[in-house]
Amino acid sequence: MDRLANTVRPYAWGSTTAIPGLLGVEPTGEPQAEMWMGAHPGAPSRVTRPTADGERALSDLIASDPEAELGAATVGKFGPRLPFLLKILAAGSPLSLQVHPNLAQAKEGYDDEERRGVPVDAPHRNYKDANHKPELICALTLFDGLCGFRAPAEAARLLAGLDVDSVKPYVDLLQARPEEAALREVLTAVLSGDPVETAATVTEVAAAAERLGGEYAPYAGIAHHYPGDPGVLAAMLLNYVQLRPGEALFLGAGVPHAYLDGMGVEIMANSDNVLRCGLTPKHVDVPELLRVVRFEATDPGVLRPEVSTSGEEVYETPIDEFRLSRYVLAPGGAVRDITADTPQILLCVAGTPRAGDIELAPGHSVFVPAGDKAELSGTGTVFRATVVA
């Protein structure tokens, strides 16, 4: 079992106080958006073992003996790399509105860009790898987000309530077409319209949302951060959801979504494939986006953990690259044996529990190689990330 030293990413949308508050350190005044735990090449965690020469990247440790660190079953199913990335995410302003491809789309898109010689670090490149990127976010605080399309009739009602003439064509389309066609045509129109006209419409919408408040307040807030951005209109096509601590959302392929505000534990398949729909200065590839988006109304599907007889609270998802659960350890409780033949990352978010002989505090994490003895004791809340192998 190895204590992890992790990198905090300073993306502009990050909260300046949430992650420092969890870690019990003074804020730097700069945004601290994500703390990464895992072996992603962009910012691998670091470990120190008695046999190692100082700190070593977890990715290098795994590469040196994949079966010893990950287990034969994990390597056989996912290859010689940790198939998930665990994060603490702290949003102080909205992230980009985005969607992720399924596995077949990712492979096709990646191969196409490789054939065309698009540099992997090019700003207009869509596919950084050939993997899909399902993800799960579990709230640590109240957490606001957008997830999946509203029913067209509900989106039409919301837009009509603004009483803005320039959005009435969208209202008409939403009311006059079958569900898939309505959502596709409106999103296409929003993202492909004349930039000057669209910016003017967004300005009118923002003013109306500010005036109306209530259910329109989140969109006024989004427009404040992204004035004139067509993503403000696209956001109104989506379900707004607020998670309470302990509740979660699963984001599968093709589902448009955005995180708006709050802190949570996020886990995802190890991929960088993101297609953006707006709320960003970055590249938006509208044709490719429209190929990947699932144009169907969905319920956000708020997840609550299922509690096993061992006290493990599991967030069930339909994919195997990750499995997220948590233990809420009460004073005087029994020691929990969580030894597994798969790799694990344990993350403390409250209290002072112990993982084996390692004392934890909020924000501390450890990596447990497959097969290593792992026990939880003490008091606090610990998230457990592993795979289904």
Active-site residue list: 276
How far CA 101 is from CA of 98, 252, 254, 255, 303, in Å, comes to 10, 9, 6, 9, 22
CB 229 within 8 A of CB 278: yes
Helix or strand holding residue 356 (H, E): none
Q: Backbone phi, then psi, for 102, in 5-degree steps?
A: -80, 180
**CA-to-CA distance for 165 and 334, rounded, in angstroms?**
63
Give counts: helices (H), strands (E), the chain.
12, 23
Name residue 155's amino acid: A
Which stretches within the chain are classed as H helix? Answer: 18-23, 58-64, 66-70, 72-78, 103-115, 152-160, 168-176, 179-192, 195-212, 217-225, 231-235, 286-292
CA-based torsion, 5, 10, 15, 17: positive or negative: positive
Residue with tokens 């300046």: 16
Can you tell me whether residue 213 is helix, strand or coil? coil
